């Protein structure tokens, strides 16, 4: 459901940010050279290499982030309850239809038309109910995703308050623009500990 979207930053957006960052660096270098700053190419290369990167594995985060698991279970329970509710209403309508079909030969034309109109009205009301229920669940899911993203953003800012990392990427197996990852730069566990500690403190 939302799990393929939760927390995942758009790869194209990240690439664009990286491109802007690179362009800014190039502009800064040009301005510095024009103003008489004669830093060598070697020194500039060393400065670029010193930027530290890290990543958060979203699959692992979702598996161990207690608040995510709790809220996801609540949402799944609501979805299951909604489906059971709709199924019960549909069975009731089907039973009414079957009953009408059985009684139809013994009913007058006016009685048949009235019964059919009543059943059609109930079917229309059911469809409106179904759509409203679906919209409510979509809204709750969107709020769920938004809340999780906000919590992750706040956690990352706190985690990287010392600005140790220049970039912290999100990674998900099979759904990421990152083709290779060195586990030495995996900060997922640290981020999970921060998230769980923050969630526990808010209870």
Q: What pLDDT, on the 0 to 100 scale, is given for residue 179?
A: 82
Q: What percent of the chain has pLDDT over 70?
A: 75
Q: Is the pLDDT of residue 10 over 60?
A: no
Query: For residue 31, what pLDDT band results from cuts at 50, 70 and 90?
Result: very low
Quote the mean pLDDT of the chain.
81
Q: Is the pLDDT of residue 32 over 70?
A: no
Q: What pLDDT, on the 0 to 100 scale, is given for residue 61?
A: 96
**Mean pLDDT in residue range 65-71:** 95
Q: What pLDDT, on the 0 to 100 scale, is given for residue 138?
A: 96
Distance CA 163, CA 50 (A): 13
- 195 within 8 A of 148, measured Cβ to Cβ: no
Q: What pLDDT, on the 0 to 100 scale, is given for residue 127?
A: 96
CB contact burial 15-40 (16+ within 10 A = b; e otherwise): eeeeeeeeeeeeeeeeeeeeeeeeee
Q: What pLDDT, on the 0 to 100 scale, is given for residue 94?
A: 95
pLDDT one-digit tens code per residue, 174-197: 888 888 888 999 999 999 999 999
Q: For residue 65, what is the DSSP state? A: -
Q: What pLDDT, on the 0 to 100 scale, is given for residue 202?
A: 77
Q: What percent of the chain has pLDDT over 90?
A: 62
Q: What pLDDT, on the 0 to 100 scale, is given for residue 139?
A: 97
More confidently predicted of 179 and 63: 63
pLDDT one-digit tens code per residue, 87-96: 999 999 999 9
Identify which of 87, 78, 187 has the alpha carbon closest to the alpha carbon of residue 137.
78
């Amino acid at each position: 459901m939302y799990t393929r979207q939760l927390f995942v930053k758009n790869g194209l957006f990240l690439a664009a940010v990286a491109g802007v960052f690179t362009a800014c660096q190039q502009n800064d270098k040009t301005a510095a050279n024009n103003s008489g700053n004669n830093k060598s190419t070697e020194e500039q290369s060393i400065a670029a290499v010193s930027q530290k990167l890290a990543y958060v594995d979203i699959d692992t985060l979702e598996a161990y982030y207690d608040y995510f698991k709790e809220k996801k279970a609540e949402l799944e329970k609501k979805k299951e309850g909604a489906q059971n509710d709709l199924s019960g209403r549909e069975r009731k309508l089907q039973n009414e239809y079957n009953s009408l079909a059985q009684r139809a030969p013994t009913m007058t034309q006016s009685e048949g038309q009235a019964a059919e109109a009543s059943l059609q009205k109930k079917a229309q009301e059911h469809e409106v109910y179904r759509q409203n229920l679906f919209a409510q669940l979509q809204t709750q899911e969107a709020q769920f995703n938004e809340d999780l993203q906000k919590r992750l953003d706040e956690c990352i800012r706190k985690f990287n308050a010392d600005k140790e990392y220049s970039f912290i990427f999100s990674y998900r197996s099979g759904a990421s623009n990152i083709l290779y990852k060195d586990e030495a730069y995996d900060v997922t566990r640290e981020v999970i500990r921060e998230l769980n500690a923050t969630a526990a403190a808010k209870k």
